[in-house]
Amino acid sequence: MQTLATETAADPKRKRSCILLWMPGGPPQTDTFDMKPGHKNGGSFKPIDTSVPGIQISEHLPKLAKQMEHLAIVRSMSTKEGDHQRATYLMRTGYLPQGPIHYPTLGSLVSRELGHSDLELPSFISVAPNRFLSPAAYSSGFLGPKYAPLIVGEGARVREGQDVATTLRVRNLDLPEGVEATQADTRLDLLKHLEDDFVANRPGVTGQSHQQAYLQAVRMMKSGASNAFSVETEPVELRERYGMNQFGQGCLLARRLVEQGVPFIEVSLSNAPGADGAGLGWDTHQGNFDRVKALSAALDSGWSTLMEDLKDRGLLESTTIVWMGEFGRTPNINDNQGRDHFPAAWSAVLGGGGVKGGQVYGSSTEDGMKVKDAPVTTPDLIATVCKSLGIDPLKQNMSNVGRPIRIADFEAQAIEKLVG
């Protein structure tokens, strides 16, 4: 049975998924996955041992520490972008914003490669994103509206007594009161006739986006797959293990979407109970340690339970997990007990299917200010994610200016040591 399972997991025909755990604001590497104990830059957090001898991470990630055999830490990420907007665009598309080319976000690229026609749900679903600082970084760009994300939970505020899971539902999927299915079908036929005529005479992305949004909505309305968004139907004990916060329940939703065959899901951690960050995520210019401790608690429960749940259901080997933000935070601590933007040397983490876990790649200097060895660029990381998913990073797509663009920049070098 073990041999059969291994062969099945390696079968390229098997449906694969990717979950991006996006950390807006830039998480501090020195307080999470690249601790600097004994150095003044290390701060107040202590490192703890993990399930892999010799690898240590933050004391506030104890559940993840037990999953280290499934994770690979990249401690040598390095870019030159310290501005939220540009850095977010770079990390999510693999390219800097430039000229008239509208680069697609990673989720759109993956969904185009791994999506399949029989899927009743959109092939790219974004859970609780914070698009304010860099909206273009969440766009499907030149791939068009077909590969745009379905957004759920953005800007949602949980009222007292409200189940946080209700903020992750897709709105307006049910028919209006008093409207029968036959009436709805007639109305949709009329709408389709009008839209086909409009798009034929006025071609362009705007009309196509509107039409595509309606087509996806109708497809979900008529299928049972939309029940995947009813996270509240899961056992209470499991929900509590994930964490009764938006990130934790978003991770549970991600698992349910993987079960439905959705190829790309991203879950953002912009806030957490006790973080007091007003939705600014990991942008900890002041009060870094209190906020990171609270954010780490939500991250630890949600991420670790997600991996356990996927493994228990036989889905971890076909699901690649990526953890990253737009940059790291300064190793040195400022006068407000905060850490500022720092793109020179920081960390990202890969895990799950297609990744050789239980290792650390690259390192930073003792003070954390520079990459010590094996620097990794953004295109390198994108290429590595693609390889782990069975996607050729050098494949080209035609851009909106008629120029072919590779999924990852032509200079990208996938980290073969990390690809399983």
The helix, strand and coil proportions of the chain, stated in percent and rounded to the nearest 5, come to: 40, 15, 45
Most confident stretch, 13-27, 98-112, 187-201 = 98-112
- pLDDT, one tens digit per residue, over 23-38 is 999 999 999 999 999 9
Tell me: pLDDT of 202 over 90.
no
Tell me the C-alpha distance between 306 and 220, whole Å: 25
Name the amino acid, one letter, at 58: S
How much is the average pLDDT of 69-81? Answer: 98
By CB neighbour count within 10 A (0-12 exposed, 13-18 middle, 19+ buried), where does 274 fall? middle
The span from the CA of 181 to the CA of 381, in Å, is: 47
Instruction: Please give the mean pLDDT across all residues of the chain.
Output: 91
Q: What percentage of the chain has pLDDT greater than the value 70?
A: 89
Q: What's the rounded Cα separation, in Å, for the pair 228 and 233?
A: 9
Name which residue leads in pLDDT, 226 or 40: 40
Least confident among 106-110, 164-168, 189-193? 189-193
Q: What is the DSSP letter of 229?
A: G
Average pLDDT of the residues in 54-60: 98
Q: Is residue 161's pLDDT more than 90?
A: no
CA distance 25 to 279: 10
pLDDT of residue 190: 81
* Residue 419 DSSP code: B
pLDDT bucket at 173, cuts 50 / 70 / 90? low
Q: Which amino acid is at 168?
A: L
What is the mean pLDDT of the segment spanning 6-17?
61
* Segment 224-249 mean pLDDT: 94
pLDDT in tens, 89-116: 999 999 999 889 999 999 999 999 999 8
Query: What pLDDT was estimated at residue 12?
Result: 45
Strand extents, DSSP E, 84-134 = 124-127
